[in-house]
Structures are given as structure tokens and as C-alpha cells.
């Protein structure tokens, strides 16, 4: 296909609503210049990929918003949720058997030696533990439970959940050095760009899997560009590994990465130099909302003589985005004039790519974003999402009628649950949307995240419940009025806003989920006790109560920009870090407590359970939580916790023959571990283990006379 053919097809495919793009395309049609490396065939085709590792209970939505304008401009877009496709391809008995064989060969090889060094003993134990897991797990049965009505039988649910947790531990062992087991639990933190790239390149097993999965589906296609979305920092390493696979599979395609974690890297970078490391894997970062420039980027990739959109950062020569104006954000219709125009009526987010049977849930839910930015935009700790110089992005809200039309189309396609994915959503909009849903008889079960204000009257809450709202999280932040004021949440917030709003919700069936943290500068133990008191006194309206997190000073927050106001001094980037926004700091006249267990004694007073985490039932904002509350009411997790609190985490076992004394090997490995860890060293000494232990564990010699059979038991995982 030559260039002229390509551009003809492009114009024919463009829909009426995108006359803007069509005009720009036809006016430059004759002057298309092919730059070096530009794809000449199938040049209207684009591949968008959601990389591992994220929620496998329902799809993430950012690519729906990226794909819609591209499709409307006539591009052919393949969208794949590689997160779920990859997870389901490895969470299978066939894959476990293959790993088991591979590991067994490595054990055989080690067993053929006459003596084992401590490193080799560790390898043996590690391999045996993984084989035990592989032989014990029953993935197909777990998937069956999640995807059927058995989901609501809690003991079965717990068992199936345990299968995935044990599998995540196994993945962590086999796909080092990425921690799949705590991917949802850790705070979003990657300190250094070179480290991200090195870790990504060491994910050779993942890269091989991705290459296979993508070539099975897209072999022979040529893409103009391939884009990945990276919403969360924990997805950076696997995301970059996916880019490496894409580069090999589609060498001519431009590679671009977008999403909130990418925008964060740009926002927090120490200097343009910090981005240089990513060049090895990626051509462009897209900083901000796709609707403002992604079609222009595609046109540019096709060779049109136009400038790159400002949001596309060319990693070969990164130029600063000097000033951001409202034009860098998309209009949602409604009252948001002055933003980049987008035709929402005819270009709703595109969910047609979703393969519903893949997800681990008995019902379908999508994220949908009817508001961007935050109407409050004043919290002093906040440095949120796609913001520039204020706590969050500028506030915009979609027209409730358009929103209701989109939702009714979703329902018609068989999706009955929606999570309104927003920073904070104005009560007035919520009321108008609820009216629309009710008057149009749109039977939706929905959930969202609030900024609670006194506008949440009993009337509004009743209306929301009637329109299908089941659960909602909200930023409680603290139970201390004075700390809330310092946080910029408003004066007398507890008395004037929170308690009246709690009262309104008490009359309804809606389950609230408070989000809060400890350690804001100036906070005392007294303040923390107030938080605990507020939570326990109102636990009847909370679907779940999680552990409180710890305050982080983010460089774009008001607290970091005006530190004196908060008694904060000496705020600084940690040594050697170049892409993280988290700052170290001191507080005047106060000892800072920021160790992980600093706030344990307060969390211990709360009815939390370490099982109530994302993406599981009991986790904040999860689909599984919504489904349990819908079915059993908002008190369900309190009841389940009472009943199942002491459930044991599972064990796996393996029977193995060996000429080595495997009991000794096991002990050696445990002691060696202890010797490397200063805190357990004391325990080793206390146990009266001889001083020359280090030498004793270094090698283990085979027993020439006999081969014995050993039954070895391994705990599959332990929740943290
Ligand atoms: C909704 C939301 C959630 C939901 C839904 C998540 C889910 N798994 O389904 C819930 C509440 C569950 C959640 C949980 C968490 N969240 Co959250 N969440 C958000 C929130 C409020 C809105 C995101 C959204 O819907 N935006 C609307 C969509 C359409 O925009 P978008 O995704 O940004 O995509 C646009 C652009 O980024 C761009 N784009 C995106 N991809 C691509 C790709 C290409 C190729 C291009 C060109 C452009 C492009 O174009 C898109 C369209 O405009 C954001 C804050 C924010 N305003 O961004 C935080 C945010 C994404 N969350 C964040 C965090 C930290 C978390 C948690 C880790 C919190 C925790 N400690 O537990 C967990 C992680 C959960 C997980 N692993 O799944 C951070 C991520 C920061 C980071 N660097 O990691 C954010 C940015 C908030 C913050 N602190 O700044 N979250
Ligand atoms: S913390 Fe929440 S309510 Fe406060 S400014 Fe940020 S997004 Fe808005």
C-alpha cells in the first residue's frame, strides 16, 4: 500500500463528528513526507496495551479514553488488556506443570553434585518450595469460584483468594526481581529511572511471555505506534518490560507510554537527564490527557508535517512543557469552557475491546470518569493525578444528560455496574446524575469516591441510594478538627460537615469506606486517638475500616511549597533518587515518627483485618467489596471478620528423594538467612547456636550410603 492509498482510506474511515481531524488530514494529504522509519503499510493501525500487574477483577479504563478519539479519527485501534490476558495464561494447571518440570530438572542437576555450597542449598530449597506450590495450586477451580455464584460463599471465596495470593508469591519467586505479591500493597514508589529500566530488562521471563501472547494475536500486523498505559507506579517495571517486547515485535512502530504514573515521572523528574534512561525502551512519554493531542500524535507518526502535540515528550531530546494552560486539559462539556474541545456525545469512552470472560468476578463493572480534577482543590497534602501547579487538575464535570446516555448504552451492552472514577465529585452533580438515572429508569449499581460536605443531606443520600449507589469511599484523613484545618479541609469540619453527613448516611443502606492517614506535620497522639475514636464510634456506617497510612510529603503539594507554614524544614529529595516525588523532611520542635510501625498502636485499636486489601472483598473501592455489600449489606465485613479472623494461611508439601540430608539443608538455609539479618542474629545467639555456625552451613555433603525420602512442608504465603 502506498502513502496515497493510506491517506484515502484514512479520510473514508473518519466519522462525521471528526470533521476537524478530517480537514487537517486532507489539507496536508499531498504533502505527506515519510520520515525515516515511518511505517508504510497498514499505517492507520495502532496498538494500545494495558501492561501487568494490576487489578484482575475488572478492566482499567484509561485506554478506553485513548482509543475513542483515535477510532473516531479513522484509525484502526487494537486494544489489549495484557494484564488479564497474561495473568490468565499463567494461572493455569498447564503452566504450573511446565514450571514444575523445569524446576525439577534444576533440582536433579543440583542433586547430582557431590556437595552443595550454601548458595546451591538455597537454590534447592527455593526450587522445592516452588514445585510444592505448583503441585498444590488448583487455578481452574479458583477461577470457577470467582466467576460463579460460589463467589458469595465466603469460605470458598477465601480459599480461591488464597490460591491467587499463593500464586502471586510463586510469581515473585519465578519472575524476580518484581514483587507480584505486594503489588497492590506497596506505596507507589520507584526512586530511579535507570533502576526501573534495569529491572524491566531483567524481566526476561515476562518479556518472553508477552512476545508470545502478542505474536499469537497480532503477528504480521504493522503498527504506526504502540502505546502502553501506566496508571500506577507499581506497573512501571512490567510496563517497561512490555515495551521491550513491543520493540522486538514491531521494530518500525513508534513507542509511547502514557498514564498517571508516566505523567508523575515527568512531574517529579530531577532534570531532563533523568528521562534519558527510558530512551532505551521508549520513544515518547505522553504527559496529560490523551484527548488533547493523541490524534495529532498519530497524524505526526504518519508523516504529516505538523508539530508534535506539546504533551508528547520526545525522549531523545526532552523539552520542558513550559506552562500548562486549561487548553492542556479536555473539556467534559458541561460548564468547562476554555478547555480543549471533545465531542462526548459521539465519542464516549470505548469499552468494546473488553473480553469479559477473563476477569475474576461474577459480574461486570467498568470505571467511568464523569468528572476530572477536584472542585475543592485546596488540601495542603494533596499532589494528585494529572495536576500541574495546584493540588489536582482543574475541575470539570460532564453534562449529567450525556453521562446518563453513556451509562444507559453500557447497560444495554450488559454492564450493570459502574465505578465513577474521579478525584472528588460535586454533590450537585451527583444529585443531577441520580435524577437522570431514576427518571430514565437506568438500573445501575454504582460506587464512587466522595469529598463529604454538609450538602450530603438525608434527601440527597436517599436519592443516591435509590439511583443505585451501594458503596462509596471518602477522604476522612483525620478525626481531629485542628489537623483537618491544617490539612486545608475547612474549619470545624467534623462538627459542621462530617457528623451531619454521617447522620444522613446512617439512615441509608450505603456503605462508606473512610480513607485516612497519620503523621501530618504537627499531629500528636491526642489527634490520632481522635481519629480512632471517630472511626470506632461510627463503624456502623462503614463497610470496612482499613489500616491508616502514613503521611508523605509530595513535592507538588502546598505543604512542600510553603513548608514554614507547617513547621516543615529541610525538605529534600532522597540521595540518589531522580524520579520520585516523595521528599524527606524534618519538623521543627518535633520528633518525626515515620517508621512503618510508628502508628501500629493506633491501627491496633481499629477493627481492621489484613485480608481486607485491594483488589479483594473488604478492600476499599474494589468490585468484590461492592458485590458483597450489594448482596449482604454494609455490615457484612464486620460479621465475616468475627467469624473467620483466625483462618490459617495454607501450606504446600512435596515428597522428594535425596542423597543429601534435606532436613539439614533446610536448617542450613534458615540459619544462613538469619545470619544475614541482624535482628534475627540475636535469636540465633539466644538459641545457643555455636559461633562457628557460619562455616557449618556453608556446605552440605551427600550421604553416599543411602537415598532417603523426605516430606517437606512449606507455608505458601503469609499476609503482611
Ligand atoms: C479512580 C482511581 C482509582 C480507583 C480505580 C483503580 C482501578 N484499579 O480500577 C481506585 C480507587 C481503586 C484506585 C486505587 C489506587 N490508586 Co488510584 N486513582 C484513581 C484516580 C482518582 C482517577 C483516575 C481516573 O480514572 N482518571 C480518569 C482517566 C480517564 O484518566 P487517566 O487514567 O489518567 O488516563 C488519561 C491520561 O492519563 C492519558 N493516558 C492514560 N494512558 C495513556 C496511554 C497513552 C498511550 C496515552 C497517549 C495517554 C494515556 O489519557 C487518558 C485520557 O485522558 C487517580 C487520580 C487522577 N486524577 O488521576 C488516582 C491515581 C491513579 N491512583 C493512585 C494510586 C497511588 C492508587 C493506589 C496505589 C492507592 C493505594 N495506595 O492503594 C491504588 C492502586 C490500585 C490498583 N493497583 O489497582 C495514584 C497513582 C500515582 C502513581 N504514580 O502510582 C493516582 C494518580 C492518585 C495520586 N496519588 O496522584 N485508584
Ligand atoms: S485531597 Fe481530595 S478533596 Fe482534597 S484537594 Fe485533593 S482531590 Fe480534592
Give the residue whose CA is nearest to atom 55 of ligand 1.
385
> pLDDT by residue (tens digit) across 230-288?
999 999 999 999 999 999 999 999 999 999 999 999 999 999 999 999 999 999 999 99
* Per-residue pLDDT, 39: 54
Q: Is the pLDDT of residue 6 over 70?
A: no
CATH of domain 362-644: 3.80.30.20
Three cell numbers written together for 126: 527455593
Residue with the larger pLDDT of the pair 318 and 360: 360
Atom of ligand 2 nearest to the CA of 489: 4
* Per-residue pLDDT, 594: 58
Helices (H) and strands (E) in the chain — how many of each?
28, 21
d(CA 634, CA 632): 7
List Cα–Cα distances, 217 to 54, 90, 146, 210, in angstroms: 21, 17, 26, 11
Ligand 1 neighbour 626 (Cβ under 6 A): no
The DSSP bridge pattern shows strands 469-477 and 76-81 to be: unpaired
* Per-residue pLDDT, 690: 60
* Per-residue pLDDT, 239: 98
Kindly give, in sequence order, each residue whose CB lies less than 8 Å from that of residue 197, ignoring residues fewer than 6 positions away.
240, 277, 278, 280, 281
* Per-residue pLDDT, 657: 94
> pLDDT by residue (tens digit) across 67-99?
999 999 999 999 999 999 999 999 999 999 999
Q: What is the mean pLDDT of residues 46-74?
A: 97
Ligand 1 neighbour 242 (Cβ under 6 A): no
Ligand 2 neighbour 287 (Cβ under 6 A): no
* Per-residue pLDDT, 680: 67
d(CA 97, CA 93): 6
Q: What is the mean pLDDT of residues 511-537?
A: 97
**Sequence spans of domains, the chain:** 29-83+191-328, 89-174, 362-644, 651-715
Asked if residue 301 lies in contact with residue 255, where contact means CB atoms within 8 angstroms, the answer is no
Kindly give, in sequence order, each residue whose CB lies less than 8 Å from that of residue 454, ignoring residues fewer than 6 positions away.
496, 497, 500, 501
Give the residue whose CA is nearest to atom 7 of ligand 2.
423
Kindly give, in sequence order, each residue whose CB lies less than 8 Å from that of residue 106, ignoring residues fewer than 6 positions away.
123, 127
What is the 46 CA–ligand 1 centroid distance (Å)? 23
Lowest-pLDDT range of 474-488, 491-505, 512-526, 702-716: 702-716
d(CA 488, CA 431): 25
- Helices in 58-201 by DSSP H: which ranges? 62-72, 82-90, 93-111, 118-136, 139-146, 154-174, 193-201
Average model confidence (pLDDT) across the chain: 90
Ligand 2 neighbour 517 (Cβ under 6 A): no
* Per-residue pLDDT, 28: 37
> pLDDT by residue (tens digit) across 150-200?
999 999 999 999 999 999 999 999 999 899 999 987 776 899 999 999 999
Ligand 2 neighbour 423 (Cβ under 6 A): yes
Task: Provide the percentage of residues in the chain whose pLDDT is more than 90.
Answer: 82
Q: What is the mean pLDDT of residues 353-366?
A: 98
> pLDDT by residue (tens digit) across 427-480?
999 999 999 999 999 999 999 999 999 999 999 999 999 999 999 999 999 999
What is the 260 CA–ligand 1 centroid distance (Å)? 6
DSSP 394: P
Amino acid at each position: 500500500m502506498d502513502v496515497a492509498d493510506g491517506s484515502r482510506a484514512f479520510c473514508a474511515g473518519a466519522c462525521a463528528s471528526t470533521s476537524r481531524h478530517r480537514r487537517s488530514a486532507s489539507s496536508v494529504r499531498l504533502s505527506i513526507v515519510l520520515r525515516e522509519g515511518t511505517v508504510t503499510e497498514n499505517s492507520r493501525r495502532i496498538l494500545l496495551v494495558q501492561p501487568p500487574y494490576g487489578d484482575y477483577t475488572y478492566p482499567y479504563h484509561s485506554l478506553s479514553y485513548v482509543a475513542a478519539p483515535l477510532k473516531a479519527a479513522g484509525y484502526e485501534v487494537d486494544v489489549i488488556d495484557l494484564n488479564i490476558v497474561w495473568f490468565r495464561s499463567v494461572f493455569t494447571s498447564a503452566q504450573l506443570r511446565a514450571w514444575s518440570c523445569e524446576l525439577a530438572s534444576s533440582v536433579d542437576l543440583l542433586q547430582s553434585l557431590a556437595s552443595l555450597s550454601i548458595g546451591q542449598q538455597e537454590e534447592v530449597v527455593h526450587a522445592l518450595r516452588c514445585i510444592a506450590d505448583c503441585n498444590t495450586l488448583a487455578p481452574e477451580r479458583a477461577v470457577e469460584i470467582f466467576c460463579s455464584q460460589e463467589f458469595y460463599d465466603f469460605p470458598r471465596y477465601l480459599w480461591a483468594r488464597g490460591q491467587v495470593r499463593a500464586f502471586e508469591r510463586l510469581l515473585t519467586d519465578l519472575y524476580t526481581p518484581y514483587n507480584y505479591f505486594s503489588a497492590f500493597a506497596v506505596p507507589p514508589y520507584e526512586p530511579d529511572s535507570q533502576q526501573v529500566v534495569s529491572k524491566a530488562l531483567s524481566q526476561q521471563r515476562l518479556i518472553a511471555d508477552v512476545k508470545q501472547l502478542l505474536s499469537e494475536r497480532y503477528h504480521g500486523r504493522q503498527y504506526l505506534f504502540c502505546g502502553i498505559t501506566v496508571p500506577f507506579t507499581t506497573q512501571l517495571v512490567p510496563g517497561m518490560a512490555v515495551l521491550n517486547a513491543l520493540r522486538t515485535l514491531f521494530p518500525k512502530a513508534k513507542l509511547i507510554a502514557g498514564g498517571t504514573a508516566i505523567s508523575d515521572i515527568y512531574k517529579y523528574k530531577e532534570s531532563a537527564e533523568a528521562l534519558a534512561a527510558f530512551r532505551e525502551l521508549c520513544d515518547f512519554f505522553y504527559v496529560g490527557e490523551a484527548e488533547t493531542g493523541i490524534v495529532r500524535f498519530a497524524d505526526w507518526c504518519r508523516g504529516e508535517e505538523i508539530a508534535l502535540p506539546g504533551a508528547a515528550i520526545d525522549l531523545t531530546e526532552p523539552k520542558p512543557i513550559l506552562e500548562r494552560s486549561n487548553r492542556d486539559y479536555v473539556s467534559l462539556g458541561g460548564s468547562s469552557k476554555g478547555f480543549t474541545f471533545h465531542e462526548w456525545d459521539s465519542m464516549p469512552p470505548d469499552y468494546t475491546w473488553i473480553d469479559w470472560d477473563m476477569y475474576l468476578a461474577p459480574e461486570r463493572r467498568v470505571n467511568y470518569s464523569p468528572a476530572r480534577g477536584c472542585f475543592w482543590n485546596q488540601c495542603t497534602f494533596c499532589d494528585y493525578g494529572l495536576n500541574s501547579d495546584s493540588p489536582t487538575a482543574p475541575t470539570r464535570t460532564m453534562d449529567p444528560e450525556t453521562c446518563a446516555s453513556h451509562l444507559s448504552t453500557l447497560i444495554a451492552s450488559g454492564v450493570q455496574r459502574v465505578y465513577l472514577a474521579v478525584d472528588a465529585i460535586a454533590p450537585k452533580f451527583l444529585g443531577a446524575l441520580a435524577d437522570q438515572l431514576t427518571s430514565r429508569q437506568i438500573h445501575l449499581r454504582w460506587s464512587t469516591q466522595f469529598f463529604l460536605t454538609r450538602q450530603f443531606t438525608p434527601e440527597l443520600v436517599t436519592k443516591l441510594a435509590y439511583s443505585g449507589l451501594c458503596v462509596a469511599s471518602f477522604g476522612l484523613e483525620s478525626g481531629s478538627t485542628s489537623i483537618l484545618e491544617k490539612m486545608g479541609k475547612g474549619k470545624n469540619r467534623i462538627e459542621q460537615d462530617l457528623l451531619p453527613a454521617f447522620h444522613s448516611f446512617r439512615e441509608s443502606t450505603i456503605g462508606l469506606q473512610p480513607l485516612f492517614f497519620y503523621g501530618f506535620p504537627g499531629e500528636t497522639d491526642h489527634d490520632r486517638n481522635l481519629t480512632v475514636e471517630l472511626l470506632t464510634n461510627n463503624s456502623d456506617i462503614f463497610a470496612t475500616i482499613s489500616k491508616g497510612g502514613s503521611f508523605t510529603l509530595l513535592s507538588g503539594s502546598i505543604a512542600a511549597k510553603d513548608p514554614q507554614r507547617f513547621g516543615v524544614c529541610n525538605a529534600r529529595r532522597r540521595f540518589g533518587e531522580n524520579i520520585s516525588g516523595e521528599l524527606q523532611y524534618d519538623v521543627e520542635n518535633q520528633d518525626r515518627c515515620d517508621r512503618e510501625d510508628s502508628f501500629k498502636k493506633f491501627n491496633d485499636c481499629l477493627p481492621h483485618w489484613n485480608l481486607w486489601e485491594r483488589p479483594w472483598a473488604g478492600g476499599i473501592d474494589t468490585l468484590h467489596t461492592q458485590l458483597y455489600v450489594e448482596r449482604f449489606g454494609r455490615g457484612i465485613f464486620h460479621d465475616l471478620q468475627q467469624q473467620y479472623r483466625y483462618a490459617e494461611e495454607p501450606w504446600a508439601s512435596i515428597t522428594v528423594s535425596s542423597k543429601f540430608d534435606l532436613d539439614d539443608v533446610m536448617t542450613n538455609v534458615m540459619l544462613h538467612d538469619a545470619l544475614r539479618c541482624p535482628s534475627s542474629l540475636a535469636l540465633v545467639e539466644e538459641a545457643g547456636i555455636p559461633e562457628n555456625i557460619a562455616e557449618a552451613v556453608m556446605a552440605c555433603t551427600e550421604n553416599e550410603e543411602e537415598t532417603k525420602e523426605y516430606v517437606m512442608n512449606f507455608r505458601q504465603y503469609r499476609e503482611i
